[in-house]
Amino acid sequence: AADGGVTPDAVSGDARADSDGGLPPRVGPCWSVAPLSLDFGVVAEGATVPRTVTVTNGCPDPLVLTRYSLAPTVGFRFIEPSPDAAAARPWPLAGDLGPDWTLPPGGTATLAFRFSPLTAAPAAAVALLRGEVGADADTLPIALEANSGAPCLIVAAESGGVVTKVD
């Protein structure tokens, strides 16, 4: 705009600032999930390890977390946040969250996951979390990874530099 105002971006329709002033472009949702990646480490068969993420509403309006999904499953599950991950009620692999998951501006919520190995192999999955603020909707991915089976111990001798792998 000749007046130094904001013009719509031709590709996305987002408001973009002219070089001489105006609003900055929107670069993502005004809400966040941290961390966006969870490493469950090495988990022995038969064991269960929990991890959590925090959802933060940095928006000026309420954030409604509406849906979640998890794929592939390979031992990962969304669970009810609980101190006892093994006893926590698992959620279905995908579903609606409902009105209880509305965060006011500046509000936070904790989402919990657990990993229980199905086989002795590395596992990876992606959890998707959909949030709505007014008419705007965004989906954020959360990467999940783990290794299962017996931990591998590597011992290095002090003299000679010999490395021994013990499974």
For residue 83, the model assigns a pLDDT of 55
Cα–Cα separations (whole angstroms), residue 18 to 23, 29, 59, 90: 8, 22, 24, 49
Residue with tokens 């988990």: 43
Task: Return the pLDDT at 39.
Answer: 95
For residue 8, the model assigns a pLDDT of: 36
pLDDT at residue 101 in the model: 86
Query: What pLDDT is stored for residue 28 in this prediction?
Result: 60
Q: How confident is the model at residue 5 (pLDDT cuts 50, 70, 90)?
A: very low
For 90-112, the pLDDT digits (tens) are 777 787 876 678 999 999 988 88
pLDDT, tens digit, 9 for 90 and up, residues 8-33: 333 333 333 334 444 444 346 899 99
pLDDT of residue 7: 35
The C-alpha atoms of residue 45 and residue 152 are separated, in whole angstroms, by 14
Rounded to a whole number of angstroms, the CA Rg of the chain reads 22
pTM: predicted TM-score of the whole model, two decimal places: 0.68
pLDDT (tens digit, 9 = 90+) per residue, 109-156? 888 888 988 888 899 999 999 999 999 999 999 999 998 875 555 444
> Contact 43/115 with Cβ under 8 angstroms?
yes
- The predicted pLDDT at position 118 comes to 83
